[in-house]
Amino acid sequence: MYLEQIKKLVLLQDIDNKLIECREKLENLPKELDSLRSNKETMENKIKELEEKLDFLKQQKEKLKFEIEENDSKIKKVKNKLMMISNSKEYQAMMRELDNFERLNRTKEEELTNLMEDINLHQKDFEALLAEKEELESRIGELEAKLDTELKDVEQKISDLEQQREDYCQSIPAPILSRYNFIRERLSQPVVVAVSQGICKGCHISIPPQVFVDLQKGDHILNCPNCQRLIYWEEFYSEESKES
């Protein structure tokens, strides 16, 4: 009778553990999707920022190219004029002007090279982000398709377990059941624990010798004097399991 009750409590505990697991799962399942969605939002903002940056850099590039071309045509014009000038003072002034245009263009060419490098780097980042976003979107799609079924499965499992628990509880004497429920509401897992070599496996503290002697008698269900969990002598259970 005593062992029967202990066994029932351990089985009830199994059901409750499964229930806890299922409820955690039910809570956590949508979380992954939520966090992926928020990752996607962050990514989209980054992509938008990069896009704007790239647009700006490309505009700068066009502007620089235009300026360089303009300068080039000015240089050409000056060079053409130079051929027709015989006055040395005027010639020198034009040479200086030519020099200035050429120096200016060299600076602008350098600027353009740097700008193109910058654009390339940003373009690579941009493409990498787009690929990442695509991957994320397909993962979200997968999860969305799965989530509904999974949630329904877990809900079904919970309702099965609850039914099982209810049926089960009817076979456990009310005072024992209420002791079990009382502890379950107040303590972290587990509720029913073995005592091995005089030590409670719930709180890992030795139980007093007298309690241990009583426990070994197996007359009634005891609580650990320290943590209040329901305890049974390990040997009882293992011998019984070996027999059956």
Residues of this chain that bind Zn ion (CB under 5 A):
200, 202-203, 224, 226-227
218 versus 225: smaller Cβ distance to Zn ion: 225
101 versus 202: smaller Cβ distance to Zn ion: 202
Report the alpha-carbon distance of residue 194 to residue 235 in Å, rounded: 9
60 versus 226: smaller Cβ distance to Zn ion: 226
161 versus 195: smaller Cβ distance to Zn ion: 195
Minimum distance, C-beta of residue 132 to Zn ion, in the bound complex (Å): 50
Minimum distance, C-beta of residue 187 to Zn ion, in the bound complex (Å): 10
- Looking at residue 111, its amino acid is E
Minimum distance, C-beta of residue 7 to Zn ion, in the bound complex (Å): 20
26 versus 203: smaller Cβ distance to Zn ion: 203
Minimum distance, C-beta of residue 223 to Zn ion, in the bound complex (Å): 8
Q: Taking a C-beta distance cutoff of 8 angstroms, is the pair 143, 36 a contact? A: yes
| C-alpha distance from residue 147 to each of 3, 30, 32 (Å) | 42, 7, 10
Q: Taking a C-beta distance cutoff of 8 angstroms, is the pair 8, 171 a contact? A: yes
Angle, in degrees to the nearest 10, between helices 2-84 and 234-243: 100
Report the alpha-carbon distance of residue 158 to residue 18 in Å, rounded: 8
